[in-house]
Amino acid sequence: MMPMLDGSMDWLSILDADPDRAEARYRDLRRQLVRFLEWRNCPDPEDAAQEALARGFKRIAGGTDTSVSGVRSYFFGIAKNLVKEGWKPRREELLDPTGWEQAVSPERHVEQVEARLALVQYLRRLNRSERTLLVRYYTEDRTVLCHELGVTPANLRVTVHRIRRKIDDVRRADTTNGRGSASG
């Protein structure tokens, strides 16, 4: 099951009530939006798809009703409008940090959801003991964990480092094979 961090599950539940199906539908929707935007000769289809998802989730969270056209059609309508607008990726600008809000932007939220989905997929590839140790290492008192496992802090760090390297090797292999994420 996917982790529920800062309400991200609520955003995916728009696509399906079941977390695994919602995850699959999100990935499928994103892939289809990228293909649609490529077909429409959008200069940066990946970023435009990201923008369409961010705008859609933001509007739906704000109360927009998608019951007539359906959620999928709603996102494609946004993507179509992005093409009509001649959407281009935002230019990088120097920002004054004093004006920043503490709230997460919809674009950043979409990126965080995708990162969590990828992390869950990579964690699923570990065996149960590795997965448990990795989670406990980052969520529990490490001194107590060392005592419980009968290892030194250095040994624990090395073990966790090896598990993280294993995840990183899988991630790199997926990227090299053109998958871009942990999904199959």
pLDDT tens-digit profile, the chain (184 residues):
333 334 444 567 777 788 888 888 888 999 999 999 988 888 888 888 988 988 888 888 778 877 777 888 889 999 999 888 886 655 555 555 555 555 556 677 777 788 888 888 888 888 999 989 988 888 888 899 999 999 999 999 999 999 999 988 888 888 787 655 444 4
Distance of CA 39 to the CA centre of its chain: 24
| pTM attached to this predicted model | 0.47
**Which pLDDT belongs to residue 161?**
92
**Which pLDDT belongs to residue 106?**
65
Q: What is the token pair recorded at 70?
A: 């359906």
**Which pLDDT belongs to residue 184?**
45
Report d(CA 7, CA 106) in Å as an integer: 12
Report d(CA 55, CA 11) in Å as an integer: 12
User: Of all helices (H) and strands (E), which one includes residue 153?
Assistant: helix 153-176
**Which pLDDT belongs to residue 138?**
85
